[in-house]
């Protein structure tokens, strides 16, 4: 077995026992990257020629390689959000989540691909070209954190960080066959995360086992005075427990979702997971989320686009990134910078967000969406009075082919139905592996009430025990 194939906890234990050295791990991961990267194209910027060492040789992640989604700021290392508008921008500071990992000794191998400004679900809206799914390189890895999921799935690194505004950790995790956690809103500091929809954005980890997710959460889920939305109580306990049980836990399916069509491998995975849960002593129930089923997609996109249009105002060619020096005037400069710098999906969302918040329409659209959001949060709160967890798909189908475009753009937005309500209500959501359909992994999602992240991962341990862990994808290597 090569070192790159070992999971995070195995690497930590092996290092402690002196079975191998950090430099052997580094060499093995780098070799794996060199072997597959031509097929996968997960990186925007590689730093493994000049690795950024973690600052703590005694830290829990000392010598452990990782990669970060390219919307997480890294001091002196290009951070693009996969957009031309940030060009060669090198942030003067680290995102807190990365700082905590670096302080624990983690080694940065590079910054990875995403949909521009995290808008999308294929990793194809990137100014740097698409990333390929390591399980089948003709298919998308999902998005927007496609590079982070692909890197873990292909064995480049044992874990990575991404961000999730409406599904961007959970969906690529399920498409690539790894575990991904979208933590409770406020659980992980977002200082240094390039904003998309600030009331929805959350940073979280990808890994090949639940235990590894727990290790990463134990390092990054800490209070940060630089993010006022970050929790202030004592640090949550993400200790891994082998002997956890779901006996007596109520796991609910969503009544309204039963009417929606799922592709066969997904509904098969749902049935199988329900049997496993019952065999483990969990009680299957049903909750009703009518507002979620009917309005969540419209509500999410109204809010996300409104927030994006405000957040992206700062890219004016004056303060950050790409600029045009020979424009006739200020207005012409803004126009030139933004016309060239943003891709078409970002532009259309900025325009939509401008319309949704324009004073004469604001009440009818943006304000109305904030009210619907409150109803959605209340609906979930009621549901969690009747259930401990909710089980549902991540997406209605498996990953499509790269470059396949649906004529109906709304369809792409609608496939986020199962993921984005979690962000609207600020809940934690776990994307877990259930098995393979041919070469392709099939993931599902478990959702818990706010701040239940440790319990959610314990439930994940039970599921992993019964359903098995994913293998490392072949990365297009014969």
CB of 147 or CB of 166, closer to ligand GLN: 166
* Residue 365 CB, nearest approach to ligand GLN (Å): 17
Closest contact distance (angstroms) between CB of 403 and ligand GLN is 18
Task: Please say whether the beta carbons of 420 and 166 come within 8 A.
Answer: yes
At 107, list the tokens: 């080694």
Nearest approach, Cβ of 163 to ligand GLN (angstroms)? 6
- Of 168, 174, 431, 452, the active-site residue reads 168
Give per-residue burial for 449-478: e unless 16+ CB within 10 Å, then b: bbbbbbbbbbbbbbbbebbebbebbbbbee
Alpha carbon 166 to its chain centroid, in Å, reads 9
Please, what is the minimum distance in Å from the beta carbon of residue 135 to ligand GLN? 20
- Nearest Cα residue to 110 out of 165, 167, 34, 50: 50
Q: How far is CA 273 from the centre of its chain?
A: 22
Q: Return the number of the residue (120 or 192) whose C-beta is nearest ligand GLN.
A: 120
Which residue bears the tokens 């996968």?
Answer: 40
CB 42 within 8 A of CB 113: yes
β-strand pairing of 283-287 with 250-254: parallel
CB of 243 to ligand GLN, least distance (A): 34
Kindly tell me which of 388 and 453 has the beta carbon lying closer to ligand GLN: 453
Nearer to ligand GLN, 59 or 183 (CB): 183
Tell me which residue of 459, 436, 448, 463 sits closest to 266, measured CA to CA.
Answer: 436
Residue at shortest CB range from ligand GLN: 168
Shorter beta-carbon distance to ligand GLN: residue 417 or 467: 417
Nearer to ligand GLN, 120 or 130 (CB): 120
For the bound state, the minimum distance from the C-beta of residue 168 to ligand GLN, rounded and expressed in Å, comes to: 3
Chain residues in the site for ligand GLN (CB under 6 A) = 118-121, 144, 164-168, 196, 304, 416
Least Cβ distance, residue 298 to ligand GLN (angstroms): 13
In order, the DSSP letters of 43-57 are EEEE-TTS-B--S-T
Q: Which of 28, 126, 144, 189 is catalytic?
A: 144
Kindly list the distances between the CA atom of residue 212 and the CA atoms of 57, 158, 446, in Å, as whole numbers in the listed order: 20, 8, 17
Omega of the bond prior to 144 within 30 degrees of 0, cis?
yes
Query: Which residue among the candidates 28, 62, 69, 83 is catalytic per the annotation?
Result: 69
Listing DSSP states for 304-351 in one string gives HHHHHHHHGGG-SSSSSS---SS-SSHHHHHHHHHHHHS-HHHHHHHH
Quick one: angle between helices 210-220 and 453-467, nearest 10? Answer: 160
> Which C-beta is closer to ligand GLN: that of 67 or that of 302?
302
CB-nearer residue toward ligand GLN: 25 or 68: 68
Tell me the closest approach of the beta carbon of residue 170 to ligand GLN, in angstroms. 9
Q: Toward ligand GLN, which CB reaches closer, 119 or 287?
A: 119
CA-based torsion, 462, 268, 469, 139: positive or negative:
negative
Q: Is 144 a catalytic residue?
A: yes
Nearest approach, Cβ of 250 to ligand GLN (angstroms)?
A: 28
One DSSP character per residue, 354-382 reads: HHHHSTTTTIIIIIHHHHHHHHHHHHHHH
Locus of tokens 């995070």: 8
339 is catalytic: no
CB-count exposure of residue 97 (10 Å: 0-12, 13-18, 19+)? buried
Give which of 52, 59, 45, 44 is closest to 26, Cα–Cα: 52
Cα(168)–Cα(177) distance, integer angstroms? 14
Residues carrying an active site annotation: 69, 144, 168
């Amino acid at each position: 077995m090569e070192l790159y194939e070992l999971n995070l906890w195995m690497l930590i234990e092996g290092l402690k026992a002196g079975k191998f050295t950090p430099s052997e791990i580094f060499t093995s991961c780098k070799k794996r990257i060199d072997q597959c990267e031509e097929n996968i194209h997960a990186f925007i910027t590689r730093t493994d020629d000049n690795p950024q060492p973690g600052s703590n040789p005694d830290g829990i992640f000392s010598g452990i390689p990782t990669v970060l989604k390219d919307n997480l700021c890294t001091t002196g290392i290009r951070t693009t959000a996969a957009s031309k508008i940030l060009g060669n921008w090198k942030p003067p500071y680290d995102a807190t989540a990365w700082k905590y990992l670096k302080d624990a000794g983690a080694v940065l191998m590079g910054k990875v691909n995403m949909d521009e400004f995290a808008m999308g679900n294929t990793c194809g809206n990137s100014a740097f070209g698409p990333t390929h799914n390591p399980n089948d390189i003709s298919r998308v890895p999902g998005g927007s954190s496609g590079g982070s999921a692909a890197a873990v799935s292909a064995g480049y690194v044992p874990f990575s960080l991404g961000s999730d505004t409406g599904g961007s950790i959970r969906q690529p995790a399920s498409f690539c066959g790894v575990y991904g956690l979208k933590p409770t809103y406020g659980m992980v500091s977002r200082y240094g995360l390039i904003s998309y929809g600030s009331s929805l954005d959350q940073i979280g980890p990808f890994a090949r086992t639940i235990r590894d997710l727990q290790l990463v959460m134990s390092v990054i889920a800490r209070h940060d005075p630089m993010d006022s939305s970050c929790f202030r109580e004592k640090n949550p306990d993400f200790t891994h427990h082998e002997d956890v049980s779901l006996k007596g836990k109520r796991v609910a399916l969503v009544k309204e979702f039963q009417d929606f069509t799922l592709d066969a491998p997904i509904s098969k995975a749902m049935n199988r997971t329900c049997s496993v849960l019952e065999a483990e002593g969990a009680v299957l129930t049903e909750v009703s989320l009518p507002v979620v089923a009917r309005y969540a997609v419209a509500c999410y996109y109204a809010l996300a686009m409104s927030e994006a249009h405000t957040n992206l105002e700062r890219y004016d060619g004056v303060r950050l990134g790409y600029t045009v020096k020979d424009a006739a005037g200020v207005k012409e400069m803004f126009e030139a910078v933004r016309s060239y710098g943003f891709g078409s999906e970002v532009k259309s969302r900025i325009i939509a967000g401008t319309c949704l918040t324009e004073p004469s329409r604001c009440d009818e659209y943006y304000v109305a969406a904030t009210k619907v959001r409150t109803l959605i949060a209340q609906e979930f709160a009621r549901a969690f009075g009747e259930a401990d967890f909710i089980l549902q798909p991540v997406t209605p189908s498996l990953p499509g082919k790269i470059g396949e475009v649906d004529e109906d753009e709304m369809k792409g937005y609608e496939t986020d139905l199962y993921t984005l309500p979690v962000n609207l209500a600020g809940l934690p959501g776990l994307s877990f592996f259930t098995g393979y359909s041919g070469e392709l992994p099939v993931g599902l999602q478990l959702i818990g009430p706010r701040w239940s992240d440790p319990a959610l991962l314990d439930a994940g341990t039970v599921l992993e025990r019964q359903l098995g862990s994913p293998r490392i994808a072949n990365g297009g290597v014969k």
